[in-house]
Amino acid sequence: MPKPHIPLEEIRAQVEGCRRCPLADGRTQTVFGVGNPAARVLIVGEAPGKNEDLQGEPFVGAAGKYLNELLSIAGLRREDVFIANVLKCRPPGNRDPRPEEIELCTPYLREQTRTIDPEFIVTLGNFSTKFILKTEVGITRLHGTLQRAGRFKVFPIFHPAAALYDSSKREALENDFTTLGQLLRESDAAAGMHEVDAGNAQGSPAALSTPAVPTDSNAGEGQAETQPDPASHVEQPHLL
């Protein structure tokens, strides 16, 4: 049986009271995440920085402003997506997250992902990409490629902050967000085709007059067998 989804506000309350690791001692406040609770796209960054720690919201500094510009390239607004981080507390001096911190904090991200149930997870940078995909392959090789984590489509992209320190990353970031927009439109088109096909099948005389397929175990040779529902065999994502 799949685990029941926990409402986001309950997960937020758990995060706010979390004392699992020493990062809790140095935080101003936790940074749970922000955005559409039923978002089609979940953006996962690394960890809060100074501004995020002060304001309690992810991506509010210069990198956040640039992220908003990048989202617009993909045809998205900040309020369309949900933005979260691997860590919910700021590491001292904005250092890299440590393995034990990731292990202790990511159950919250898992629950957020279960509840939001996005179609796409966009991982920004190495830490979120390696965690979501359970890989040691770095973002330099994976960025701009469509990956899978169970039922989720995962699209790794450089962290927007990378372009603030290395302008050569800007072109790659903007190209990757252009590709993300294309992937979203292609998914929309495919969904529309499925709806049309389903409507045609329901309304066609052949569909209306076709007898039910026998399900008896003694069905004669040459008769069609019922097929299992593919949705019941969807692989569960690694992060869940």
Distance CA 47, CA 98 (A): 11
The per-residue pLDDT for 193 is 74
Q: What is the pLDDT of residue 197?
A: 61
pTM: 0.82
Query: Is the pLDDT at 169 greater than 60, yes or no?
Result: yes
Residue 203 backbone phi and psi in degrees, to 5? -95, -10
Report yes or no: 37 and 82 within 8 Å, Cβ to Cβ. Answer: yes
Task: Report the candidate in 116, 174, 173, 96 with the shortest Cα–Cα distance to residue 139.
Answer: 173
Q: Residue 121 in contact with residue 155, Cβ under 8 Å?
A: yes
pLDDT digits (tens, 9 = 90+) for 110-135: 999 999 999 999 999 999 999 999 99
- One-character DSSP codes across 44-72: EES---HHHHHHTSSS-SHHHHHHHHHHH
| Ordered structural domains, the chain, with CATH | 8-191 (3.40.470.10)
Q: Using an 8 Å Cβ cutoff, are 115 and 7 in contact? A: yes
Lowest mean pLDDT among 114-118, 167-171, 208-212, 236-240: 208-212
pLDDT, tens digit, for every residue of 172-203?
999 999 999 999 999 999 988 766 565 565 55
Return the DSSP state at 150.
T
Instruction: Reduce the DSSP state of residue 122 to 3 states and report it.
Output: strand
CB 177, CB 73: distance < 8 Å = yes
Instruction: Considering only residues 132 and 2, tell me which one the structure prediction assigns the higher pLDDT.
Output: 132
Question: Rounded to whole angstroms, how far apart are CA atoms 44 and 82?
Answer: 9
Distance CA 84, CA 15 (A): 12
Which of 55, 71, 172 shows the shortest CA–CA distance to 125? 172
For the chain, the average pLDDT equals 85
Higher pLDDT, 202 or 48: 48
User: If you ran DSSP here, which 8-state letter would residue 212 be given?
Assistant: P
C-alpha 74/C-alpha 180 separation (Å) is 6
Q: Which long-range contacts (CB under 8 A, 24 or more apart) does 74-79 make?
A: 74/177, 74/178, 74/180, 74/181, 74/184, 75/181, 75/184, 75/185, 76/41, 76/181, 76/184, 78/35, 79/35, 79/36
Q: What is the pLDDT of residue 59?
A: 98
